[in-house]
Structure formats: C-alpha cells, structure tokens
Chain A
Amino acid sequence: MSAAKITAADAVPSIAASVESNVAESRRRRIRSPYPTWFFVPTIALYVVFFAIPTVFSFYFSLTRWSLFDSHFIGFANYVQFFQDPQLYTSFIHTLIYAFLTSGSKVVLGFLLALLLTSPVIGRGYLRAVVFFPVLLSTIGVGILWKSLLDPFHGMVNAVLGWFHLPQPGWFTNPSLALYSIAGVDIWKGVGIATLIFMAGIVAIPHEYFEAARMDGAGAWRMLREITIPLTRGATATVIILSLIGGLRSFDIIWATTGGGPGFTSDVIASVIYKQYQAGFYGLSTAGNVILFLVVTVIMVPLSYVLNRRSVDL
C-alpha cells in the first residue's frame, strides 16, 4: 500500500483519540506533569514521520493523477470523479447501515453481556474468556472462517439448519442478505471489547450506591435504570465512539468475506476506495481517503463532543 493511503485512513482514530484526550486535557490542565516535555520527542518524531508528513502528502497526491512512477497535477478532477462513481451513493448508504447496525448492536449486546458477566453466574471466568476470545483473532482469519462456516452448500451452519428442515439462506451470496451477514460476523468478533469496557464501567460503580438503593427499597430493574445505566455513560460513550469509527472505516472483514459482492451489494466506502487503489488509481483512491477522513471527522467530532460533555455533567 502506498504510504499516503495508510495514513489517511489511519489518521482517523488518532483524530478521535485526540478529541477525547483534548476534553480530558482541559479538565486536567492545572495539574503539572511530573515528566519533562522532551519525553515526548521520540513519540512526536514517529508521529510526524509516519502520520503527519504522509497525511500532508496525501492531500497533495489527491490532487494529482498518480501512477507511482510520476504524477500530474489535475486539480480537483479526482474529487469530481470520486463523486461521480456510480457505486458511491449505495456504498455510502451501506456504510451508514453497517456502522450504525454494528455499533448499536455492540452497545446493547455488550452491555447485556457485561451485566451478566459482572453478576455472580456459574463459570464466570470461563464465560468472560469465551466472549472475549474472538477479539484476539485476526480479522482476516475470522472472515475466512465464517466464509467457510456460512457457505450456502457446504457450510456447517446451513448443514445444521438442514437437519431441522429450516431454510438455508445464501448468507454471503444472497444480494439482500450479504451486508447483514457481514455485520453479524463483525458483531460476533467485536462485542467482546465492548463487553470488556462495560464491565470495567460497571465494576467501577461504588457498591454503596447499590446498598443505599436497596435500603430505600429499589428493585433490580430500578437500580439498573437509575444507577448502572447513568453511571456507565462514560463506558457507553467510549463503546459508541470506538465501534462507530470502526464501522465507518470497516473494510478488512468485508473484503475477506464477500469482497463487496455479490456484485456491489455489500460495498462500503472503504472497499470502493480499495478497489480504486487496486485498479492503480492511486490519486483517486487517495482523494477517496481524504473524503472518508472528512466524513468520519464530521460525524465523530460533534458526537464525541456531545457524549463527553454529558459524562462531565454527571
């Protein structure tokens, strides 16, 4: 991959992270750091060399027709062409569906699993490991694994459905189902990290609150609504931000399972950009990455601001 391409996509989480840390920073501004500033130099040098400089270059190369051998400055022609891409509109809709579906599911499922796994259930340690395990796997590996499990004719899942005479859908091959199947795999893989964050949030709530509420006669439902949910808002914000950014930029799992297919029915913006890159349209795909970067920023910066302000207000 070209350096510029990596950067434009990878700079996105660092933006969101810096938004988060800026908010935290303003709260901590008065506290003097015990470490000298020059401790930052190695990190900053790496950041500048591998992120900042390539990012600036990528803005330039997005304005060129670039064959890796030479580049011609062509103004905004790449942007014009990118917005004329016949797949752009559908892939943008797919991206939003995918991002909000996976993010929402991870929040709900992650929270429910965290509630379960912080309560005294049998085999809690084992269950925690099981839920977290998919997070440790390589995304491409997960994609290949599920592609084989969900194969419409030879896959294990459809074989089991067949025993019970249930319909055996073409999970990744049915045009109207493919995107949702991939979202399902993404949720399976990513819910562990959401659960972990929620568990940390729930465990951090002081026990006194629950005891006091119980003394006042609050039931389990009331305690959940009045104590657990409000006091894990910080965790919720983190899960939403991380999973939404991940969903908007999602590429690897889609590429490993369907490659955006059948046809273009599970294409997202990132896979459209990758295909342009594959075709040797280096300038055009860099322009696409700049746009993806802007889209993610436009969605995430206000969202991150709102979510973090609320957690401060509490």
Chain B
Amino acid sequence: MLSRRATKVVASFSGAALLGAALVACGSSNGSSGSSSGSTTISLLAGGNDPAATKFANDMATAFEKANPTITVKVETRPGGTDGDNLIKTRLSTGSMNDVFLYNSGSLLQALHPDQTLQPLTNEPWAKDITADFKQSVSTSQGLYGAPVGTTFDGGVMYNKKVYQKLGLSVPKTWAQFISNSEKIKAAGITPVLVSYGDTWTSQLFVLADFANVSAQDPNWATDYTNNKAKYSNPPALAGFTHTQEIYDKKLMNKDFASLTNVNALKELATGQGAQYPMITVTISNVLQSNPTQVNDIGYFAMPTESGDPHATVWEANGAYIPKTTTGAKLDAAKKFIQFMYTPEGCSIQNSAGVPAGPYAISDCTVPANAPALVQDELKYQQAGKTGLALEFLSPIKGPNLEKILVQVGSGISTAAQGAALYDQDVKAQAQQLGLPGW
C-alpha cells in the first residue's frame, strides 16, 4: 500500500546496519545472559533498509544507549513494501519478532491481529499526548498498541513554485484549472505532470490522494465501502481514475513515464524540468538528499476537485510496536526505548534523521522552524480544517492490484471505467480474503 512503500522510499523511519540480521541472534542470547548482571539487550527492527530509515534507527539507538548505559540496542533492517509485510507476519506468527519494530499504522497494522500478537501500550505515559486520529489508527477495541514515529504527511500535488511564478500561475482549486495550468506549462516546454511508473506504486496518487475529497462529498463513503455498498465505478470515487486517464489522453506527462523512477521524478521536480507531481509529501526527504538547495522551491496543494473545494488527504505517522513475546526486563527496556523517542533528545533525532513532512502525531515533539517549505502549505489546510484521512486508515480493505490497474489506465492500456470496475473486483477479492461480512 502506499504508505508502506513510502516508508521504504523515504527515509523516515528506522533502519540498521546490514550486519544486523546476523547480530540479532547473538544479541538476544547476550541479552539473557547479560540481564543477570544488570544489563539488557533489546533488538530494534527498522522501518525499512533505505539510508534514511537506517539512519533513523541507528541514531535513535545510539542516543538511547548513551542515556541508558545498561541497555544495549541491536538494530536490524528489513525490506520495505510487501516483502517487509511478509517478514513481519512471519516473525510474529513464529514468535521470533524483535523487541521493538517499526511499521505502518492503519489497515496494515490491523492485518497483524494486534490483540493476539502485540503488547498493549494503553497505560504508557506518552499515550495521552497522541492525536485522536493516530490513536484510532493504532488501536483496537481492546487497547492501544502503537507509538507514533515521525510525522504525519499529506498526499496531493507537489509543484515547483519557481515554475509557477515564472509562468504567472496560481494554485488550482478545480480540476479544470489544474488542466489549464498544465496546458500552459506544456506550452512553455516544461513537463506539466510527472508520471513515474518505473516505481509502480506512484501510479496511485490521483486516486489515493483524492480520498479526502471523496470523504468531503460523502462522509459515509468509507463505511459504505467496507460494507460493500460504495464502489469506485461510481462518482465521487471514480474521479481519481478519470483524472489518471485524462493526463494520458491529453499528453500532459513526460515521455519516459513508463520507466521514470520516483527518485528521478523528484529530482526533475526540484530542478524545474517538471512542474507538478502527484505524490505524498514524505518523499521530500529524498529531495533533501539529492537537491538540498532546491527543497524550498517545492510546494504542495491538495488534489483539485470538480467542485473547487479541495481537501488535503492525510496519512498517519508510522508506529513503533512491541510483540507479546517480549517480556520481563526486555519489555521494560523496550517501553523505555519508545518513551525515549518523545524526550527533547528523541524529538531532535526525529527531526534530523527523518524530515518532517507534516505535523507530529504527538504533542511532545514539534516541527522545527527550518522544516521544508511545503510543510507550511500543508498546515494551511490543517488550519482551515480542510483535511481528511486516507482510506487505509478508515477501512481495512485495499485491493492489492490498484497500482497495476492504474498503470494500465495511465498508460492508455485500459479506460478509467474499465480500471475502476477491475479495481472493484480486486477489492471484493481482498474483502473475501479478510473474511468480512456482507461480501
């Protein structure tokens, strides 16, 4: 799903030395022998294996060890995306999960059966400081299971402010304005809309980032969708599919759309070769690495709508979790580690190792003044109350083939209507596999 890919792509949350995997085994055995002499070893599973995820986990572990000399933290990395999902499910079901692991919140977390596999964190001291939205995305009826890692972030369109300035364009609110802006950008010889199917997950943004708009029009859509009543083949949700097709039909995208990768598309956006990129803002950390001087040239606007009242789609922060198999001194140490993330020192590592791409989900950490410019654009929607959660935090169902279906729609292989119908079928398969009632 989108946000877990983001975890991999981006850099936000956690990581570790390549030797981690080999070291964990030794780590845990050292830990049990060491605890008798007053020291404990816990292992931390990072949120991915990209440089930023690795840096986040390593920096946090090092700082924590300095503050707690009796506890050693062994960091281990893992693959992102669906391979990471499978690794985590396998470890939890075989009882071999690390003492702390970093993973998505929302529907992906629910798929781990938290009531059976995770330690409840309801009574931890930081629990009262988290936002209601985050709380909902890491809780079941029986308790709270996750602690927020990094910031929330938005999906919508990232755009190059300099290109907009040069061509005298203003931020579009309606889809028609977005298209007319794009035509003008195209006439100026600049790629209007960057499309990067070299990383297929990026195909989903016109649909997923439009969800706050769907919710705004029909507040019950997510519930109806879970109950097999609302479909993507019908408006308002169909808009994301038709928008994807329209960009292809009007040739408003780059020529190398089929092979361009996310990282390279972000570079083109930063340098102004491309003007607009439907994306999640958490990817800004890649720009910070590749084009540090141009980070503040990039702005954000919510996905334009037919009606002209766009809402920003918000993704919740990822979470840190402790499995049920961690007990005793290790459990205490693991809880201490999570608490450490919200101390001033922990917050400053969250700000430096991950890049704030939106507000924090916990009041103990604050976004620094030097955060990327697009964070200010996101906050405007927050202040105006024009936001809505992404669908994956409101419904357990996300069809696994959405990205491929949208590649087809966006490459002219199938129409928007065909794609939406196919996706409804995919959603049905997912719901049946989840054993939901009414499918």
Chain A residues whose C-beta falls within 8 Å of the C-beta of B89 in the assembled complex: 67-69, 280
Partner of A153, one of B92, B112, B256: B256
Indicate if the CB atoms of A279 and B258 lie closer than 8 Å: no
Interface of A is mostly: loop
A174–B197 Cα distance when bound, in Å, is 12
Q: Does B425 contact A (CB under 8 A)?
A: yes
| Stretch in A17-25, A40-48, A260-268, A305-313 touching the partner | A260-268
Partner of B408, one of A264, A276, A280: A264
Q: Does A275 contact B (CB under 8 A)?
A: yes
A264–B82 Cα distance when bound, in Å, is 18
Indicate if the CB atoms of A65 and B435 lie closer than 8 Å: yes
A260–B408 Cα distance when bound, in Å, is 12
Indicate if the CB atoms of A262 and B411 lie closer than 8 Å: yes
Q: Does B429 contact A (CB under 8 A)?
A: yes
Indicate if the CB atoms of A261 and B200 lie closer than 8 Å: yes
Indicate if the CB atoms of B85 and A280 lie closer than 8 Å: yes
A222–B255 Cα distance when bound, in Å, is 54
Q: Does B86 contact A (CB under 8 A)?
A: yes
Indicate if the CB atoms of A263 and B411 lie closer than 8 Å: yes
Indicate if the CB atoms of B408 and A279 lie closer than 8 Å: no
Q: Does A302 contact B (CB under 8 A)?
A: no
- Taking the nearest CB of chain A, how far is it from the CB of B116, in angstroms? 6
Which residue of the partner chain A has the closest CB to B430? A279
Top 10 A-B residue pairs of the complex, sorted by shortest distance between their CB atoms? A279-B400, A263-B408, A173-B258, A278-B82, A68-B93, A153-B256, A281-B433, A263-B407, A68-B89, A69-B113
A279–B433 Cα distance when bound, in Å, is 10
- Taking the nearest CB of chain A, how far is it from the CB of B89, in angstroms? 5
Chain A residues whose C-beta falls within 8 Å of the C-beta of B429 in the assembled complex: 81, 84-85, 281, 284
Q: Does A13 contact B (CB under 8 A)?
A: no
Partner of A275, one of B92, B112, B117, B401: B401
Which residue of the partner chain A has the closest CB to B398? A279
**Number of A residues whose C-beta is below 8 Å from B?**
38
Which residue of the partner chain A has the closest CB to B400? A279
Chain A residues whose C-beta falls within 8 Å of the C-beta of B259 in the assembled complex: 151-153, 170, 172-173
Chain B residues whose C-beta falls within 8 Å of the C-beta of A264 in the assembled complex: 401, 404, 408
* Contact indicator per residue, chain B 419-431, by CB within 8 Å of chain A (1) or not (0): 0001001100110
Q: Does B307 contact A (CB under 8 A)?
A: no
Q: Does A175 contact B (CB under 8 A)?
A: yes
* Contact indicator per residue, chain A 274-308, by CB within 8 Å of chain B (1) or not (0): 01111111011000000000000000000000000
Indicate if the CB atoms of A81 and B432 lie closer than 8 Å: yes
**Number of B residues whose C-beta is below 8 Å from A?**
36
Q: A259-B200, A262-B411, A263-B405 are in contact. Are A278 and B400 (CB under 8 A)?
A: yes
A-B contact count (CB 8 A): 93
Indicate if the CB atoms of A67 and B404 lie closer than 8 Å: no
Q: Does A86 contact B (CB under 8 A)?
A: yes
Indicate if the CB atoms of A280 and B435 lie closer than 8 Å: no
A174–B82 Cα distance when bound, in Å, is 26
Indicate if the CB atoms of B433 and A280 lie closer than 8 Å: yes
* Contact indicator per residue, chain A 15-39, by CB within 8 Å of chain B (1) or not (0): 0000000000000000000000000
Chain A residues whose C-beta falls within 8 Å of the C-beta of B116 in the assembled complex: 69
* Contact indicator per residue, chain B 192-221, by CB within 8 Å of chain A (1) or not (0): 000001001000000000000000000000
Which residue of the partner chain B has the closest CB to A283? B433
Chain A residues whose C-beta falls within 8 Å of the C-beta of B425 in the assembled complex: 86
Chain B residues whose C-beta falls within 8 Å of the C-beta of A67 in the assembled complex: 89, 111, 113
- Taking the nearest CB of chain B, how far is it from the CB of A3, in angstroms? 10
Question: Could you give 21 example pairs across A and B, Cβ below 8 Å?
Answer: A1-B86, A67-B111, A69-B113, A86-B422, A151-B259, A152-B258, A152-B259, A173-B258, A175-B411, A261-B197, A261-B200, A261-B404, A262-B258, A263-B407, A263-B408, A275-B401, A278-B85, A279-B433, A280-B89, A281-B400, A281-B429
Q: A261-B407, A278-B82 are in contact. Are A68 and B90 (CB under 8 A)?
A: yes
Indicate if the CB atoms of A69 and B433 lie closer than 8 Å: no
Indicate if the CB atoms of B405 and A275 lie closer than 8 Å: no
- Taking the nearest CB of chain B, how far is it from the CB of A173, in angstroms? 3
Q: Does B25 contact A (CB under 8 A)?
A: no
Chain A residues whose C-beta falls within 8 Å of the C-beta of B414 in the assembled complex: 263
Indicate if the CB atoms of B258 and A69 lie closer than 8 Å: no
Indicate if the CB atoms of A262 and B408 lie closer than 8 Å: yes
Chain A residues whose C-beta falls within 8 Å of the C-beta of B18 in the assembled complex: none
* Contact indicator per residue, chain B 104-116, by CB within 8 Å of chain A (1) or not (0): 0000000111001
Which residue of the partner chain B has the closest CB to A280? B111
Partner of B435, one of A72, A173, A278: A72
Q: Does A109 contact B (CB under 8 A)?
A: no
Partner of A65, one of B197, B405, B433: B433
Partner of A262, one of B113, B413, B426, B430: B413
Chain A residues whose C-beta falls within 8 Å of the C-beta of B258 in the assembled complex: 152, 170, 173-174, 262
Chain A residues whose C-beta falls within 8 Å of the C-beta of B400 in the assembled complex: 275-276, 278-279, 281
A2–B93 Cα distance when bound, in Å, is 11
